[in-house]
């Protein structure tokens, strides 16, 4: 019995092996046989069909309308992320504290970590969803939670900066107050990438990347620092950057939802639905209008600053050898100003007139040049005397200028002696040694830095002037040099105001 059973099993096994062998043989034959030549490339000779085929191919790889979106699931996830209560609030508080510490320590790694754990994107994206699908209750809820989010963030950062014993104004902290049009592009592109990933259920790594790229957390912390220290300029600049990023993230969300034709919220009453649509349109205009205006304004500012750099390099600097000039372009829609500060060059009216006529060649015809002469009165007087000698021989004018110079030198000597006496009575409130060491520690891009202090004599008093000379490493490009010098300028002016009660808008920061 057992032998018979074994024989039947052996036959079945052999039969199966034979069948598998035949099937593999057939499949192997099919796999090995290629009827066409794969190395031959066929190009359609009909240009119209070729262009049409190319367009169809591009549409197939670029189109987002694949029809496989789980609309309700995406909307439900968006609704879950907008609520700020319980654990979400505490996660936000912790991330704000971490970001504030990172900004205070000038640690990029800590700031990035704070942005990764922050839940700031939820209400902003919820606003976009509310507008995009005509869901007015969702829009109102998102706006309310957005206000809660901003309020909690500001209060937390204010409290931290009020109680922290660390009072160092780092580049990471002060660098979050000057938005430009690139910030708008980053916010829009980052927000677009985030909503594309969310709509396709790919929220793993992309959302974290969006949180870092759009940088919502640092401006909020800087705004809190501005309030805590009474620096309203920094508060306004940081708030401006945060709102700019938020607007463009919401705008990108609205545009993609409309493009993908997400189902819109329906209402039983046509009257109510019409009313909701009107409110949504109004809110959409509120989002788009400021975004468009801010983008236009920042684009104009960026173009203006680029034109100023070109103007100074091609017109101003070639005017005289070894010229040391500091440029401070101040953009305004009503009328921009190019501030030029000179340390070793006297700018006469002839040279200034030549520069003014050259402005139109660099698309700066609406701007005005404002000159700050860094030389003392004696050096300027010497320049005037040389000009008088080059004229047609007005001896009386030359004699008067020489007498005026002698009187001026005598007055300057008296003022300098009084100033020296006053300086001996009081200690210098600024620790320049500490300031120089902090510059070297904060900026890896520099080899060395020097602070020069000089004195200028006005009609009523003697003023102190400062020049920061920076020696950069060889691999630092001009854009990075400009950024570092701007931050050093801000920090030094802040130190002057805090420690010496000296209010200066800017100081000269030059390369050497």
Give the per-residue SS3 of 291-314. HHHHHHHHHHHHHHHHHHHHHHHH
Residue 172: predicted pLDDT: 64
Residue 38 placed within a domain: no
Same domain, 334 and 440: no
Same domain, 99 and 227: yes
Residue 387: predicted pLDDT: 55
* CATH at 107: 1.20.1080
Q: Is the pLDDT at 128 greater than 90, yes or no? A: no
Alpha carbons 69 and 77: distance in angstroms, whole number: 13
Under a CB-based contact definition with an 8 Å cutoff, are residues 449 and 469 in contact? yes
Of 240, 265, 290, the one marking the end of a domain is: 265
Q: Is the pLDDT at 154 greater than 90, yes or no? A: yes
Q: What average pLDDT does range 181-208 have in this prediction?
A: 76
* CATH at 439: 3.30.70.1350
Number of domains in the chain: 3
**Which residue segment(s) compose the domain that 343 sits in?**
320-425
Alpha carbons 106 and 441: distance in angstroms, whole number: 10
Residue 284 placed within a domain: no
Same domain, 207 and 98: yes
| pTM score, whole prediction | 0.56
Same domain, 326 and 398: yes
Same domain, 476 and 450: yes
Backbone angles phi, psi at 168, to 5 degrees: -115, 125
- Per residue in 8-22, pLDDT tens? 445 544 554 555 555
Q: Is the pLDDT at 6 greater than 70, yes or no? A: no
Same domain, 354 and 378: yes
Residue 88 placed within a domain: yes
**pLDDT over 70 percentage in the chain:** 70
Q: What average pLDDT does range 124-134 have in this prediction?
A: 86
Under a CB-based contact definition with an 8 Å cutoff, are residues 438 and 487 in contact? no
Question: Confidence class of residue 418 from pLDDT cuts 50, 70 and 90?
Answer: low
Same domain, 261 and 126: yes
Question: Confidence class of residue 151 from pLDDT cuts 50, 70 and 90?
Answer: very high
Q: Which residues contact 136 (CB under 8 A, 6 or more apart)?
A: 130, 265, 276, 279, 280
Of 392, 425, 458, the one marking the end of a domain is: 425
Alpha carbons 451 and 430: distance in angstroms, whole number: 12
Angle at 34 between CA 30 and CA 35, to 5 degrees: 115
Report which of residues 281 and 420 the model is more confident about: 281
């Amino acid at each position: 019995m057992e032998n018979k059973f074994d024989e039947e099993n052996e036959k079945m096994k052999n039969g199966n092996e034979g069948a598998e062998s035949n099937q593999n043989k057939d499949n192997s034959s099919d796999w090995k046989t290629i009827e066409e030549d794969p190395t031959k490339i066929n190009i359609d000779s009909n240009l119209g069909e070729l262009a049409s085929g190319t367009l169809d191919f591009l549409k197939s790889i670029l189109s987002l309308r694949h029809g496989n979106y789980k609309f309700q699931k995406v909307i439900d996830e968006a609704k879950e992320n907008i609520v700020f209560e319980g654990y979400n609030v505490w996660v936000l508080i912790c991330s704000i504290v971490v970001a504030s510490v990172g900004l205070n320590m000038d640690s990029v790694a800590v700031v990035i970590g704070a942005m990764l754990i922050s839940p700031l994107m939820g209400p902003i994206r919820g606003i976009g969803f509310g507008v995009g699908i005509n869901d007015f209750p969702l829009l109102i809820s998102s706006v309310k939670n957005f206000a809660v989010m901003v309020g909690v963030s500001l209060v937390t950062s204010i409290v931290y900066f009020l109680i922290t014993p660390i009072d160092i104004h780092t580049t990471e902290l002060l660098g979050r107050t000057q938005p430009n049009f690139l910030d708008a592009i980053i916010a829009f592109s980052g927000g677009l990438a985030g909503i594309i990933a969310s709509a396709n259920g790919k929220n793993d790594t992309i959302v974290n990347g969006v949180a870092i790229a759009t940088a919502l957390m640092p401006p909020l912390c800087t705004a809190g620092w501005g309030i805590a220290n009474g620096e309203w300029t920094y508060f306004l600049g940081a708030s401006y950057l945060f709102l700019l990023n938020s607007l463009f993230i919401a705008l990108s969300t609205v545009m993609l939802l409309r493009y993908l034709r997400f189902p819109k919220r329906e209402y039983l009453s046509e009257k109510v639905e019409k009313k909701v649509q009107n409110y949504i349109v109004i809110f959409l205009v509120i989002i788009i209008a400021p975004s468009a205006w801010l983008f236009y304004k920042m684009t104009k500012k960026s173009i203006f600053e680029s034109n100023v750099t070109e103007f100074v390099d091609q017109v101003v600097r070639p005017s005289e050898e070894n010229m040391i000039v500091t440029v401070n372009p101040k953009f305004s829609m009503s009328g921009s100003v190019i501030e030029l500060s000179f340390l070793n060059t006297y700018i006469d009216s002839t040279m200034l007139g030549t520069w003014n006529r050259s402005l139109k060649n660099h698309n700066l015809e609406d701007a005005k040049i404002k000159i700050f002469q860094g030389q003392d009165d004696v050096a300027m007087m010497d320049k005037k005397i040389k000009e008088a000698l080059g004229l047609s021989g007005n001896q009386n004018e030359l004699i008067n200028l020489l007498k005026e110079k002698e009187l001026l030198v005598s007055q300057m000597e008296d003022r300098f002696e009084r100033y020296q006496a006053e300086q001996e009575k009081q200690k210098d409130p600024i620790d320049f040694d500490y300031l120089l060491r902090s510059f070297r520690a904060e900026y890896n891009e520099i080899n060395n830095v020097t602070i020069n202090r000089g004195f200028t004599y006005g009609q009523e008093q003697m003023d102190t002037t400062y020049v920061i000379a920076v020696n950069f490493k060889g691999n630092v490009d001009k854009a990075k040099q400009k950024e570092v010098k701007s931050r050093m300028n801000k920090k030094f002016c802040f130190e002057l105001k805090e420690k010496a009660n000296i209010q200066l808008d800017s100081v000269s920061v030059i390369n050497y």
